[in-house]
Structure 1
Amino acid sequence: MFKEASSTLVDREWRIAEVCQRVEHNLDVLGVTAIEDRLQEGVPETIETLRKAGINFWMLTGDKQNTAIQIALSCNFISPEPKGQLLQIDGKTEDEVCRSLERVLLTMRITTSEPKDVAFVVDGWALEIALKYYRKAFTELAILSRTAICCRVTPSQKAQLVEILKSCDYRTLAIGDGGNDVRMIQQADIGVGISGREGLQAARAADYSIGKFRFLKRLILVHGRYSYNRTAFLSQYSFYKSLLICFIQIFFSFISGVSGTSLFNSVSLMAYNVFYTSIPVLVSILDKDLSEETVMQHPQILFYCQAGRLLNPSTFAGWFGRSLFHAVVVFVVSINAYAYEKSEMEEVAMVALSGCIWLQAFVVALETNSFTLLQHLAIWGNLIAFYIINWIVSAIPSSGMYTIMFRLCRQPSYWITIFLIVVAGMGPILAIKYFRFTYRPSKINTLQQAERMGGPILSLGSIEPQPRSIEKDVSVLSITQTKNRNSVYEPLLSDSPNTRRSFGSGAPFDLFQPQPRLLSSLSYSRNCKDN
């Protein structure tokens, strides 16, 4: 029987499990071998810290249920009674799993608003039935629960569970240390492999490789948060500096009769993005708004990243408005400053370009939180390099800018114009930033101020966004899908009575009463968003 089951091409794992269940019974145990698998150092503390950061945890393991529960208790994955409650989804038939799933869903709905830590545990057999016939119901359960234990699961089931969570628009991170975790790691948005005694298969297939589980805390809270902040600034600033020069060109087209003439020459436009504005923003990837120690002490600030506070349509609109405002300032001041002088168009273009470069330097300096020597060199050294490059170009007789930069730098009106551009462009932005930092500071501003003053922060209050209403996000639950019984399950699953169950306006436990059958998966709708 075992050879036949192991050689089949359809549902091989479940056929082997069926054979094992038929053979492995009424055995006389002659000896028992126990293997001690201790938890790594820092696992409970890491899980507790990441929970404070608003991260939900799922344990997907091939161990037996009792073993998985004991491990979960030892590493603070779940809370013991009475602080916590562990619900179980079990059953060997579709109806047993359905009733168990309904019971857990009802409990989850009731306890969602309570501070009690509620988790559920499911084995591989019940999980296979739930994913096959009641996938949407299980998806809703995944949304409602913050902690889950899935034991006796296969590598393919691990990947399926990750896929379910991704389908709800949640960002998933899978971490594992063995070959059985490779599919799960590759399916997740971010894969983390632990290199250890079980080999390097998981580490080689992952996006990130760490040596210990406790390093995950630093990877997410420190490096993950810094990466988000820097990416948010880099992407929006890149649009800002490009839109600034584009708006000036658009304004110039109106006063030139829409002739198609460019205010800036091709060399200046090329150097603007390649040399003049690229180096300062690239060095900004070293910026840190908070020290690593502060971030580790207050993991709740990760909610700002999860909520997209620094990169969203509102912040992008702010950068868009800033580019438009600065373009108006540069264009109006430059044109009016040289409107009554006998100036060439190249001189006006160089004044406008100089104003853009000065504004870029002050914008980067204003958005930088931690200055280093390299950042000072990049910001102010790049400004000096702008004049050196244009002096060299102005010294070439064949260039279209011959002697222009030398003449401008000797004129007091040029430096007065640059001063007016900087004051008019940065004054309102500095005022808004000062008002927000002084009168409406965020939790991040509070921590920054504490770091500068050298004082501790005992409590930041509630940073977590308000929880979404379950009634609005999840529709009324009903079971209406007809069973699609696979022939593989025919000898394993017994026929069950027809039932109809629903979560509606009736009595809470009416759903367990037998009624005429109209089976289905759970109708489900949810507007999932990143936390």
Structure 2
Amino acid sequence: MIVCEEPNNRLDKFTGTMHWRKDRFPLDLDNMMLRGCRIRNTDECHGLVIFAGADTKIMRNGGKTRFKRTKIDELMNYMVYTIFVILVLLCAGLAIGNTFWYEEVGSKAWYLYDGKDQTASYRGFLSFWGYIIVLNTMVPISLYVSVEVIRLGQSKFINWDLQMYYQEKDTPAKARTTTLNEQLGQIEYIFSDKTGTLTQNIMAFKKCTIAGQTFGDPANVAGVPLDRGKPVDFTWNKYADRKFEYLDHSLVACIRSKKDKDTLEFFKLLSLCHTVMVEQKEDELVYQAASPDEGALVTAARNFGFVFLSRTQDTITISEMDQEMTYEVLALLDFNSDRKRMSIILRFPDGRIRLYCKGADTVIYERLSPNSKHKEVTQTALDIFANETLRTLCLCYKDISKQEFDAWAKKHKAASVAMGNREAALDRVYEQIESNLMMIGATAIEDKLQDGVPETIAKLAKADIKIWVLTGDKKETAENIGYSCKLLTDDMQIHYGEDVNCVLCKQHVHSDNENGKRLVNIYLSLSLSVSVSLRVCLSVSLRVCLSLPVCSVFVCLRLSLSNEILYEKKKKRRRLRLKRLGKRPAAAATPQDAAQPIDDWEKETRQVDFVNMACECEAVICCRVTPKQKANVVSLVKKYKKAVTLSIGDGANDVNMIKMANLQILVFSGCKHNPHLWTSGPHTTLMESVSDRLSRHMHICGLLEVILQGSFEVAIMNDDYYFIYDFLLPLQVAYEDWFITLYNVMYSSLPVLLVGLLDQDVNDKLSRKFPKLYLPGQQGALFNYKNFFISLFHGIFTSLVIFFIPYGAFLQTMGQNGEAPSDYQSLAVVMASSLIFTVNMQISLETSYWTFVNCFAVLCSIAIYFGIMFDIHSAGIHVIFPSTFTFTGVASNALRQPYLWLTIILTVGITLLPVICIQFLYKTIWPSVGDNVQRNRKKYEMEEEEEEKSTPFQRGRRSRRSAYAFSHSRGYADLIASGRSIRRRPARARPNPRDSIREIPQAENI
């Protein structure tokens, strides 16, 4: 019998118990198989269907998918709504006019009588819907098709971009959606993970401290430190990894001498305390680790003579300096993001029972025995490692008596089969055995920054894009990485710790008691505490009262009076808005009342305070945040700033943050990437290419020109309205039916599409050199209601010219035969020809980047128009379809008249003259950044060529700042305990090492 949880949608958790032969066995996530899973390295297995149909986890996760829309989509929808309202008003006006006309004129003219005795109002009602049908071309339905085609083409260009191709892994960029491309040009905030995104996530064992002695710095025979020593020769070790490199020869000599027991115990711990899986491939050991940190540590132990060889369900075998030893595994206490440590309990061949433990310094130091040695020396070494961009883990052990272990094993068995709160029960049992530990030392692993990260951040900052780094690492880690990647600079004033809580509480007091009082220098100290359930909890008292884990955050900024004034204005607007939430609750009378959860008013106020202050800073770094908290931070900015956000990550712990943002970029780098990540967004390979993506693909001018051109062409089609109004003809259009049908498909679509796909105001190099070119799109200056109405009025003016100039010419002009060709069909041909020339010339004036394809498209569109027009006006097609093609011979007769060609030239010239004049004025008197770059393009290109010639290579410089942390992905403990082996899993989130032991405990917990 199996007792398990009810059906749910959690893919990362399963709790159950199997009753078999009067015994109980725990069932968890590692016993569960989802649809599509495959098993390897397993001869046979037994399965049982627990849930079926709609109760399966896969089906319960198949809920509604949230479709993301861009700001341009929203504006375009409002634009269509506006055009539709205008259409309804125009048709209503025409229907009313037609009603009055029929009462005054139509009903009295016998030759207009249609034999239907209908009232004037009923005729007006029918006329309204008839005008809706006739003037339906005003609604730009084809605009949506054009925009989607352009987006599809832009996505292909992203996929084909060689600048974003990662040659080492043969990985091109991949756009996972076609609906978000233009938002690359509107980003205001970037939220980035640290490990694997800013860093390479490729770990290398660099240094260690063992029993108070530090190893890792290269030195000569005399002990003088060297900048770069000769790598250690590991040929004496037949199991050594050839790729492993170490510079301190003294550590190898110490191990090979076998005199220092602490050193031998140190590497024995590394080879035993882990959840690494091993495979034999071509007589070589291949390790599969749940995190790159763990793989690096086991590989280091392997090279120093302590080789992990194999493991079974209850044993682990290693080679200790060429001597094979097998240890019995009694218990494996796996890692999770709350514990920040893992332990293994082993029975040695001589019968001794020992616990080995490794984890974050804060959790380890809390559990050390008072008799443990080397605590202060190890802490000093940890601080030194932090200044060298190294990630640290503390190692310790504990000897356990048989009686103590037997008593603990019973508790562990009971907790492992508990149905309710199994994880909490196991954690309590783990706490009992992981106490009074003895310190051995600490490891230091290097995780280098990705190439081009500082340059990328500098470019993004110049483009006025604010960068927030959200990481689960500790505060020192985040700060040092911030300096390494130039997110933080020496001219910034940095504030962190618990002071921001006091600032925000003080701000609350000021806003509640005296609305007119101004908060004096709100930037004196800044920090953040984010609660798991309350999202943003910024009060020290609340942080003390609540038992929820919190995370600490620090932000950096430059002080300025303008920022304070701007914040004061925002604060007044915020107070007015928060009045809708109700009055602030009264102060608590007792400490018990103060411990109650804060209400919606308090949460809303603190959230707004945090967002407003953080968004005034130049950079924000949130440390010790969980995946859920990352998503909450992004949600706050989206909610209160209405800004376009971009999330960048590379692993499963970033999924919540990535899915919450408007735009997502998944970086394929290092070892942490989860190939089964199901987020939708562009995928690329390195952090450096993110800058290229934004600089090369940020120009949304082409797409916006298409939209504005669509509204321009909508207004042009008002010629039908003028024709109906002028001649008082119901349901009669100014153009031929076939012209209206083919206009969007054949005559005007190709040039517009090519502008949207190919047009660029500057080339790629200049766009990277001048990040300020990004600002117009970010500020919404390229497409808004102002530009829409300008384009609409421009179209109305053009339609007036296209209609009334040919109309006036037909009234006052005489043909070659002495007769005035005042027929409707000739007028329609002239108007249509003028429209085709005007539209194609208009799009030509808006084109900044000319190619052969653009020229061909414009000329081809005009040629296709005349070719089709002469064909459908020919006598031959009229004979075959007499009722369909009624403009027989009109084109050849009308265009034979020279004055009609002069009319077309005059019409086109008058319509384009204002456009030419306005463009001239803007480019000469009010030039934009793009106009100035275009004007000096050749100069900048020559400077670029000279720089490339003068600097063939640039030597990098190691940052003096650093960081330390460790990976916090769940290991293979449950698999090992179950005796099964599966394929390598993708690494998950990194652990959140706590702050140093000198800091307050409240700031250390998650």
Q: TM-score, normalised by structure 1?
A: 0.76
Shift of 1:229: 1.1
Whole-angstrom distance in 2 between the partners of 1:382 and 1:210: 37
1:371-386 mapped onto 2 (5 Å cutoff): 371-386=850-865
Whole-angstrom distance in 2 between the partners of 1:216 and 1:188: 16
Question: Is the 8 Å Cα contact of residues 453 and 687 (structure 2) preserved in structure 1?
Answer: yes
- The corresponding residue for 2:849 is 370
- The corresponding residue for 1:349 is 828
Deviations 1:404-437 (A, max 9, x none): 1111222212211110011111112212211222
- The corresponding residue for 1:492 is none
Partner letter of residue 492 of structure 2? G
Matching residue within 134, 137, 141 for 2:613: 141
Deviations 1:275-307 (A, max 9, x none): 111111001120111111111111022111111
- The corresponding residue for 1:165 is 637
The structure-2 alpha-carbon separation of the partners of 1:366 and 1:22, relative to structure 1 and needing over 3 Å to count, comes to: farther
Matching residue within 334, 342, 348 for 2:806: 334
Whole-angstrom distance in 2 between the partners of 1:6 and 1:121: 39
Question: Is the 8 Å Cα contact of residues 394 and 401 (structure 1) preserved in structure 2?
Answer: yes
Whole-angstrom distance in 2 between the partners of 1:338 and 1:19: 97
Partner letter of residue 70 of structure 1? N
Whole-angstrom distance in 2 between the partners of 1:9 and 1:316: 60
- The corresponding residue for 2:57 is none
Shift of 1:350: 1.3
Whole-angstrom distance in 1 between the partners of 2:656 and 2:420: 20
- The corresponding residue for 1:391 is 870
Shift of 1:344: 2.3
Deviations 1:472-506 (A, max 9, x none): xxxxxxxxxxxxxxxxxxxxxxxxxxxxxxxxxxx
Question: Is the 8 Å Cα contact of residues 720 and 734 (structure 2) preserved in structure 1?
Answer: yes
Q: Give the structure with the larger helix fraction.
A: 1
Question: Is the 8 Å Cα contact of residues 627 and 657 (structure 2) preserved in structure 1?
Answer: yes
The structure-2 alpha-carbon separation of the partners of 1:19 and 1:408, relative to structure 1 and needing over 3 Å to count, comes to: farther
Deviations 1:433-469 (A, max 9, x none): 11222222222211111115667799xxxxxxxxxxx
Whole-angstrom distance in 2 between the partners of 1:274 and 1:109: 63
The structure-2 alpha-carbon separation of the partners of 1:326 and 1:267, relative to structure 1 and needing over 3 Å to count, comes to: same
**SS at structure 1 position matched to 2:468:** strand
1:282-297 mapped onto 2 (5 Å cutoff): 282-285=753-756, 286-297=758-769
The structure-2 alpha-carbon separation of the partners of 1:73 and 1:452, relative to structure 1 and needing over 3 Å to count, comes to: closer
Partner letter of residue 39 of structure 1? L
User: What count of residue pairs does the alignment treat as equivalent?
Assistant: 444
**Pairing 1:99–2:484 present:** no
- The corresponding residue for 2:652 is 179
Shift of 1:360: 0.4
The structure-2 alpha-carbon separation of the partners of 1:141 and 1:20, relative to structure 1 and needing over 3 Å to count, comes to: farther
- The corresponding residue for 1:252 is 723
1:270-309 mapped onto 2 (5 Å cutoff): 270-285=741-756, 286-309=758-781
Matching residue within 471, 493, 500 for 1:85: 493
Question: Is the 8 Å Cα contact of residues 529 and 536 (structure 2) preserved in structure 1?
Answer: no
Shift of 1:254: 1.4
Deviations 1:105-126 (A, max 9, x none): 99998377xxx9x975657789
1:212-291 mapped onto 2 (5 Å cutoff): 212-224=686-698, 226=699, 228-245=700-717, 247-285=718-756, 286-291=758-763
Whole-angstrom distance in 1 between the partners of 2:482 and 2:750: 49
Question: Is the 8 Å Cα contact of residues 500 and 527 (structure 2) preserved in structure 1?
Answer: no
Question: Is the 8 Å Cα contact of residues 194 and 202 (structure 1) preserved in structure 2?
Answer: no
The structure-2 alpha-carbon separation of the partners of 1:439 and 1:97, relative to structure 1 and needing over 3 Å to count, comes to: closer
Identity level (%):
25
**Pairing 1:66–2:476 present:** yes
The structure-2 alpha-carbon separation of the partners of 1:148 and 1:344, relative to structure 1 and needing over 3 Å to count, comes to: same
Whole-angstrom distance in 2 between the partners of 1:324 and 1:27: 82
Question: Is the 8 Å Cα contact of residues 746 and 864 (structure 2) preserved in structure 1?
Answer: no
Question: Is the 8 Å Cα contact of residues 62 and 153 (structure 1) preserved in structure 2?
Answer: yes
- The corresponding residue for 1:45 is 455
The structure-2 alpha-carbon separation of the partners of 1:55 and 1:11, relative to structure 1 and needing over 3 Å to count, comes to: farther
The structure-2 alpha-carbon separation of the partners of 1:241 and 1:25, relative to structure 1 and needing over 3 Å to count, comes to: farther
Shift of 1:311: 0.7
Question: Is the 8 Å Cα contact of residues 334 and 352 (structure 1) preserved in structure 2?
Answer: yes
Question: Is the 8 Å Cα contact of residues 108 and 145 (structure 1) preserved in structure 2?
Answer: no
Whole-angstrom distance in 2 between the partners of 1:73 and 1:385: 61
Question: Is the 8 Å Cα contact of residues 56 and 146 (structure 1) preserved in structure 2?
Answer: yes
Question: Is the 8 Å Cα contact of residues 652 and 677 (structure 2) preserved in structure 1?
Answer: no
Question: Is the 8 Å Cα contact of residues 529 and 537 (structure 2) preserved in structure 1?
Answer: no
Matching residue within 675, 681, 685 for 1:211: 685
Shift of 1:137: 2.7
Shift of 1:101: 4.3
Matching residue within 914, 918, 921 for 1:435: 921
**In terms of Rg, which structure is larger?**
2
Whole-angstrom distance in 2 between the partners of 1:23 and 1:212: 43
Deviations 1:115-163 (A, max 9, x none): x9x9756577897634975333323333333311111111111111100
Whole-angstrom distance in 2 between the partners of 1:383 and 1:204: 46
The structure-2 alpha-carbon separation of the partners of 1:389 and 1:137, relative to structure 1 and needing over 3 Å to count, comes to: same
**Pairing 1:75–2:547 present:** no
Shift of 1:204: 4.9
**Pairing 1:198–2:709 present:** no
Question: Is the 8 Å Cα contact of residues 535 and 632 (structure 2) preserved in structure 1?
Answer: no
**SS at structure 2 position matched to 1:369:** coil
**SS at structure 2 position matched to 1:444:** helix
**SS at structure 1 position matched to 2:936:** helix
Partner letter of residue 236 of structure 1? L
Question: Is the 8 Å Cα contact of residues 121 and 151 (structure 1) preserved in structure 2?
Answer: no
Whole-angstrom distance in 2 between the partners of 1:67 and 1:422: 65
Question: Is the 8 Å Cα contact of residues 447 and 457 (structure 1) preserved in structure 2?
Answer: no
Whole-angstrom distance in 2 between the partners of 1:70 and 1:22: 35
The structure-2 alpha-carbon separation of the partners of 1:46 and 1:21, relative to structure 1 and needing over 3 Å to count, comes to: farther
Whole-angstrom distance in 2 between the partners of 1:384 and 1:189: 43
The structure-2 alpha-carbon separation of the partners of 1:123 and 1:354, relative to structure 1 and needing over 3 Å to count, comes to: same
Whole-angstrom distance in 1 between the partners of 2:769 and 2:616: 28
1:104-143 mapped onto 2 (5 Å cutoff): 110=521, 120=527, 129-130=537-538, 133=603, 134-143=606-615
The structure-2 alpha-carbon separation of the partners of 1:287 and 1:11, relative to structure 1 and needing over 3 Å to count, comes to: farther
Question: Is the 8 Å Cα contact of residues 194 and 203 (structure 1) preserved in structure 2?
Answer: no
Matching residue within 923, 927, 933 for 1:447: 933
The structure-2 alpha-carbon separation of the partners of 1:187 and 1:280, relative to structure 1 and needing over 3 Å to count, comes to: same
Kindly indicate whether structure 1 or structure 2 has the higher relative contact order, using CA contacts under 8 Å at least 6 residues apart: 2
**SS at structure 1 position matched to 2:781:** coil
Partner letter of residue 748 of structure 2? T
Whole-angstrom distance in 1 between the partners of 2:422 and 2:501: 22
**Pairing 1:413–2:899 present:** yes
Question: Is the 8 Å Cα contact of residues 195 and 202 (structure 1) preserved in structure 2?
Answer: no
Q: Give the structure with the larger strand fraction.
A: 2
Shift of 1:26: 5.2
Whole-angstrom distance in 1 between the partners of 2:919 and 2:934: 14
Whole-angstrom distance in 1 between the partners of 2:748 and 2:447: 55
**SS at structure 2 position matched to 1:32:** strand
Whole-angstrom distance in 1 between the partners of 2:794 and 2:926: 21
Question: Is the 8 Å Cα contact of residues 50 and 217 (structure 1) preserved in structure 2?
Answer: yes
Whole-angstrom distance in 2 between the partners of 1:375 and 1:6: 71
Shift of 1:38: 0.9
**SS at structure 1 position matched to 2:904:** helix
